[in-house]
Amino acid sequence: MVIYHVDVENVGNEWMNIIKDETPNDKILYLFTSKYAHLTYSEAAFLHDYMSLGVVYIKEGWSCGGGSNAIDYYLMGTMNNDIITDENAEENEYIILSDDKGYDAFIRELK
């Protein structure tokens, strides 16, 4: 199974192409979003369809202060926890979809 952790603030609706390109049964997408990400009506309808299949989940984050990396930290913490608790972690492939280069050290640490 391929498990995507998508930084929606940085990549917008690119996650839609992942769902369209492959069969939805071999992947799970966690969409990390905040008040800074916006969906059109058609994107919301598309999202609803895949959420009902249980392959797309929304993870909404927020920050009390002016921090600009709240979603990044939320994504990394969630992904790290998922890998630690996943009985099939060695069989699964974990992917971060983001245009942010700040995940490099985190990925090296996981390897």
What predicted TM-score, i.e. pTM, was given to this entire model? Answer: 0.85
Q: Supply the mean pLDDT for the chain.
A: 85
pLDDT value at position 30? 93
Within 10 Å of residue 96's Cβ, how many Cβ atoms?
19
Residue 95 has pLDDT above 80, yes or no: yes
The answer, yes or no, to whether residue 24 has pLDDT greater than 60, is: no
Write down the pLDDT at residue 110. 83
The separation between the first and the last C-alpha atoms of the chain, rounded to the nearest angstrom, is 18
The average pLDDT across 44-55 equals 86
Mean pLDDT of the region 94-101: 90
Other beta carbons within 10 angstroms of residue 31's beta carbon come to 24
